Chains A and B, each alone.
Chain A
Amino acid sequence: MSNDSSSEIEVAGAHEIEHALRRTDIDPRAAKRAERQVAIMFGGSVLASILFVVAFVSVKSTAVVNVPLIGLIGLQNLTLGLASGLGLFLIGAGATHWARKLMSDEEIVDERKSFASDDETREAVVESFQTGVEESGVMKRPLIRRTLLAALALMPIPAIVLLRDLGPLPETKSRETLWRKGSRIVTDISYRPIKPEDIPLGGLVAGALPADLLKVEEEEGNLNQRAKAAIILVRMAPDEIRSQQIQDGDFQGILAFSKICTHLGCPIALYEQRTKHLLCPCHQSTFDLADDGNVIFGPSARRLPQLAIEVDKEGYLVAKEGFQEPVGPSFWERG
């Protein structure tokens, strides 16, 4: 068989289209019945629309109903939804029923034409195109052509430059957190300072922040510092710590790590006390807190940064110094 576009594909052309009569084509009573069915569906839609308005003004927003198999649903959502859903559905069902039972179901045939124009037209088009190109002189005048191309190529630059002021340059902000020497560690919900004896052996403080965070957030009006400063605290027996990033970074077995996953920045909080493993709920990177915070499984490529801690004069836990490496996901300039 040739693969030329002019060759036609002959398939099954000789066969007749089959057509069987429907009940409604033969029996006028069946047709009348179908007509009534369609009308009932359209009528049902009318009722549903009225029901919607009734439900809208009469059902209290606080009412709740227990639907078998589904559970508790707000009654307003249920009634409004059922009414408008049925109202829509019945129009569609009626129209489809009408088409299937009463409208002609005889298939008709239409011929296709090839999309390509005849050769004469095609030649004429090519010719007009060539004439047009020639008259423009674009081929003869390379100076115009090249400068135009250069102009068009550079034209998007202003549009891209315009986007520059969408935000400031990144600078080194992703390397800095609020933690300084002496920053007091507070719990994330109640902002209470923490004493070592608050954390039992094997215990976990799933979220802690620097004490000055609230003040900074008030000033800056955003959560940017929180997204970097969040830490967790765990306590293990000092001899259970196999290795840590900062020598004597713990305080009596209490270790502080960044809570922000080094993979894509989710806050990590699933801690298994027995194995000392910390699991990120987003992509399941697993870190061993007893061993440097190293990655032992999952897509993250880097350990969780440790924050060295000690206690201040009043006996509260504080940072010994800031983080020694950037927290959170990788970025090009990180190193």
Chain B
Amino acid sequence: MSTTQRAVATTPTWIDDRIGAGKWLKKNLRKVFPDHWSFMLGEIALYSFILLLLTGVYLTLFYNPSMKEVVYNGSYAPLNGIKMTQAYESTLRVSFDVRGGLLVRQVHHWAALLFVAAVSVHMLRVFFTGAFRKPRELNWVIGVGLMTLAILEGFAGYSLPDDLLSGTGLRIAQGIVLAIPLVGSYVSSFLFGGEFPGTDFIPRLYSIHILLIPGILLGMLTAHLLLVWYQKHTQFPGPGRTNTNVVGYPLLPVYVAKAGGFFFIVSGIITLIAALFSINPIWQYGPYTPDQVSAGSQPDWYIGWLDGAVRVIPNWETVLWGHNISWNILLPALIIPGIMFTLLALYPWVEAKATGDKREHHLLDRPRNAPTRTGLGVMALTFYVLMWISGGNDIIAQAFSWSINSITWTIRVLLIVLPPLVFVITRRACMGLQRRDRDKLLHGRETGIIKRMPSGEYLEVHAPVSSATRAKLVASRESDYAPIEAPPAVDANGVKAPKKRRSGVKLSNFYFANRVIPPTDEEIEEGQHHAAGDLETVRPSGQITSGH
């Protein structure tokens, strides 16, 4: 026995002798994980977060979160002799006078951009496949919390270098704080240690960015992953996959290699991007001063929708008894995002109320099989993307020489008109796709073979669908629960049905409107049998040559 072989054989025993992990390992070493490309999205988020922690710690070794004024005297000649804060000066130092410092800074920033992107797309995947349904509602809520914190953490991070762009972002944030009714001026004064910009805020933001938020993120992330582990991953419908099993590759060796390897792939690609593409070149912006700004100031992409909302809102302000309520700031920066995130977090319960469904779901929906949910999701996404585009209205105006006023007005109109329209179209499209699936199950698939009947009539021959396709198509039955039945308006004893129950029925009818009912097994058998018979008459062997 070689040393390696001996190590492999004795490691599990060594661990078991000390912490008695035998039982747990026995169950989990070969734990099954279902495979699908979209399950990688959450992994990308996780790995960019790990990369953020590692590069972040490195950056703290050089960055100095102080707003004390110094005169720059370093390798970047254009800024020599210019007064700036130590925060900005130390960011320049790590970029120009620390070997590899710029690379780590760029990896940190690119990883942050990718982190929020991966979190967002992962959330879309979970939403559109219905992975948030019972028993995973809690993990959905944790996920919404993680996304909110990720956005805040990103904003805090790019505000730290105290360059002209980040300072402008902070000025806007302070303006938003000021708009909070009743306490705005006080909150702002406490946050900034007096007036804006003061000298306290960056050191305070620093401890929030490197300790408070990452600490909470790490805790919630751990809970998120533990729940995925414990509840086992969902899977897409397919042959052999049921709601009560989980089909896939074992943790050891396949997932250790694939997931472990994927960490290195994600890190490697981020590093290669950081090697080639500059991000947040703070030396070009110059130090922050509250009386200067550069045109075309754009925040990082994930703040874009908020900035866009602030741009697109009409200038509503109410002055009542000497007090200002700035709707033009409160609505886009606090109220609308607040409503959006609350609805997002509560969605699993809203849907469960509409479906009246209390079962566990481990098989994922294909988006077409939940037309209302898919429609709502695409509607919300349209709203988001429009606001995001609005955040770049100045860039668009410049690029296409359009009037910024007409762009803003167009987006205002679209924000109201487009989302409901998109909802209707998406829901219709989903139902169309469902009908096509139903046809396939009932009549088989089209073969492209045309048969001429003795009567001279032409018919197209259909063939039975493969068992894999069939397994995929009949999965729509899983989410096909009927709408809640309306209680009689007045029951036998003459008691009126409670209003609450009637509203539940309304919601349910909305959710299930124009439902496409999937065929039963008997109907499918009959249909597939027909198709098979159809085929026999053309090609007695039952073989169809592929190609034309």
Contact partner of A335 among B69, B248, B322, B329, CB < 8 A? B322
Residues in chain A near residue B289, CB distance under 8 A:
223, 226
* Nearest 3 Cβ contacts at the A-B interface: A81-B275, A89-B268, A95-B261
The verdict on A149 contacting chain B, using a C-beta distance below 8 Å, is no
The verdict on B501 contacting chain A, using a C-beta distance below 8 Å, is no
Contact partner of A99 among B176, B240, B258, B295, CB < 8 A? B258
B185 and A333: CB pair below 8 A?
Answer: yes
A88 and B190: CB pair below 8 A?
Answer: no
B317 and A301: CB pair below 8 A?
Answer: yes
Q: 1/0 per position for A67-97, CB-CB distance to B under 8 A?
A: 1001001101110111011111111111110
Contact partner of B237 among A12, A170, A174, A286, CB < 8 A? A12
A95 and B260: CB pair below 8 A?
Answer: yes
Q: Assess A12 versus B240: contact at CB under 8 Å? Given A267-B292, A330-B179.
A: yes
Residues in chain B near residue A85, CB distance under 8 A:
268-272, 274-275
The verdict on B297 contacting chain A, using a C-beta distance below 8 Å, is yes
B194 and A224: CB pair below 8 A?
Answer: yes
Residues in chain A near residue B239, CB distance under 8 A:
12, 15-18
Assembled-state Cα–Cα distance A10/B31 (Å)? 23
* Nearest CB of chain B from residue A163's CB, rounded to whole Å: 6
The verdict on B265 contacting chain A, using a C-beta distance below 8 Å, is yes
Q: Assess A230 versus B103: contact at CB under 8 Å? Given A89-B269, A111-B245.
A: no
Interface residues of B in 40-96 (CB under 8 A from A): 67, 69, 75, 96
A329 and B178: CB pair below 8 A?
Answer: yes
CB within 8 Å of A: which residues of B?
A: 30-32, 35, 67, 69, 75, 96-97, 99-100, 102-103, 106, 135, 168, 171-172, 174-176, 178-186, 188-200, 204, 231-232, 237-250, 253-254, 257-258, 260-272, 274-278, 289-297, 307, 310-317, 319, 322-326, 328-329, 332, 355-363, 393-394, 404-405, 408, 467-468, 470-471, 474-475, 477-478, 480-482
* Nearest CB of chain A from residue B377's CB, rounded to whole Å: 23
Q: Assess A332 versus B185: contact at CB under 8 Å? Given A9-B478, A88-B271, A264-B171.
A: yes
Interface residue stretch chosen among A24-32, A121-129, A243-251, A277-285:
A277-285
Residues in chain A near residue B290, CB distance under 8 A:
223, 226-227, 230, 260, 265, 267
The verdict on A108 contacting chain B, using a C-beta distance below 8 Å, is yes
Assembled-state Cα–Cα distance A165/B270 (Å)? 42
Q: List 13 A-B contacts (CB under 8 A).
A: A5-B359, A9-B242, A11-B237, A15-B471, A67-B276, A92-B267, A99-B258, A112-B246, A168-B193, A222-B67, A263-B328, A281-B294, A302-B317
Find the A residue at minimum CB distance from B484. A3
B272 and A81: CB pair below 8 A?
Answer: yes
Residues in chain B near residue A70, CB distance under 8 A:
276-277
Assembled-state Cα–Cα distance A7/B270 (Å)? 47
Assembled-state Cα–Cα distance A259/B290 (Å)? 10
Q: Assess A107 versus B329: contact at CB under 8 Å? Given A81-B274, A265-B171, A281-B394.
A: no
Find the A residue at minimum CB distance from B293. A267
Interface centre among A11, A90, A112 (most CB of B within 10 A): A11
Find the A residue at minimum CB distance from B359. A5
B310 and A299: CB pair below 8 A?
Answer: yes
Residues in chain B near residue A110, CB distance under 8 A:
31-32, 232, 245-247
* Nearest CB of chain B from residue A318's CB, rounded to whole Å: 19
Residues in chain B near residue A314, CB distance under 8 A:
none
Residues in chain B near residue A298, CB distance under 8 A:
311, 315, 408
- Secondary structure at the A interface, as helix, strand, loop or mixed, is loop
* A interface bracket (residues with beta carbon within 8 Å of B): 35 or more
Residues in chain B near residue A103, CB distance under 8 A:
253-254, 257
* Nearest CB of chain B from residue A162's CB, rounded to whole Å: 11
A11 and B324: CB pair below 8 A?
Answer: no
Residues in chain B near residue A300, CB distance under 8 A:
315, 328
B261 and A92: CB pair below 8 A?
Answer: yes
A81 and B103: CB pair below 8 A?
Answer: yes
The verdict on A191 contacting chain B, using a C-beta distance below 8 Å, is no
Assembled-state Cα–Cα distance A318/B468 (Å)? 83
Interface residues of A in 267-298 (CB under 8 A from B): 267-270, 281-286, 295, 297-298
Q: Assess A299 versus B315: contact at CB under 8 Å? Given A170-B188, A223-B290, A265-B172.
A: yes
B194 and A168: CB pair below 8 A?
Answer: yes
B468 and A77: CB pair below 8 A?
Answer: no
Q: 1/0 per position for A49-61, CB-CB distance to B under 8 A?
A: 0000000100001
A84 and B196: CB pair below 8 A?
Answer: no
Contact partner of A166 among B191, B195, B242, B323, CB < 8 A? B191
